[in-house]
Structure 1
Amino acid sequence: MNIKVDITEQREDFARLEIAGEIDAYTAPALREKTEPLSKQEGIHVVADLSDVSYMDSTGIGVFVGLFKGIKANGGHLQLIGLSDRLKRLFDITGLADIMDINSEVKGGME
């Protein structure tokens, strides 16, 4: 089980993550390690592209909840894009889709 997490764009107030692979109990620590510094930056807008995530379990959900809470506590915004129907359903079932900015248009990036 592998995961790849790349910060493909970063400015003082913006970061874009591209995540690929599976997010589970084995790979979640690597994802958390890469994203945790972003959650501590004041007023950052983070866009996480999950287009290439093939699988995610509750451990992965936990990483994104932690990231969301940290970013929000520091006046920032987390946006998740590129979710497959399966991943979107995970966020819907947990009620997180009502709280988090999921699968909407990218705002704030240099697209």
Structure 2
Amino acid sequence: MIELDTSQAHDVAVLRPQGRLTMVHAGDLRAAVDQAVGDGRTHVVIDLGDCEFMDSSGLGAVVGGLKQARQAGGDLRIAALQPQVMTVLQLTNLDRVLRPYGSVPEALRGD
């Protein structure tokens, strides 16, 4: 199961999926990004600190969110990756497209 906690400020949305980001819950993340961007929060940070597992569907939801945010003139960043999630990102070479940040504050600053 995944819990999705959303914090928003100004034009930024911080999404915090918890648990396993799989085919079953990828749609929840897509919907949260859709809502954030639709509400004018085009800068999205996905805090993956409590996401212990991500499969290709979860990764697809993140990449889809990146595309949506950029088309709206913003960006999507990921932060606080667990080792398994980082491995998936590295194996797919998407760590070059979705640069992982150590924490949400770093992602917000773009450090």
Band of TM-score, shorter chain: 0.7 to 0.9
Q: 1:72 is matched with which residue?
A: 70
CA shift, 1:39, in A, is 3.8
Does residue 6 (structure 1) correspond to residue 9 (structure 2)? The answer is: no
- Return the letter of the residue paired with 1:3: I
**Could you tell me how far 1:38 is from its partner in structure 2?**
2.4
More helix by percentage: 2
In the alignment, is the contact (CA less than 8 A) between 1:51 and 1:81 conserved in 2?
yes
Note the residue ranges of structure 2 that are not aligned, 5 or more in a row. Answer: none
Residue aligning to 2:108: 107
Which TM-score applies when normalising by structure 1?
A: 0.84
TM score, norm. by length of structure 2: 0.84
Deviates more, 1:59-68 or 1:37-46: 37-46
Q: Residue 66 of structure 2 aligns to which amino acid in structure 1?
A: F
Displacement over 6 Å in runs of 4+: none
Counting aligned pairs with the same residue, the percent is: 29
Report what 1:32 is aligned to: 30
Structure 1 gap ranges (5+): none
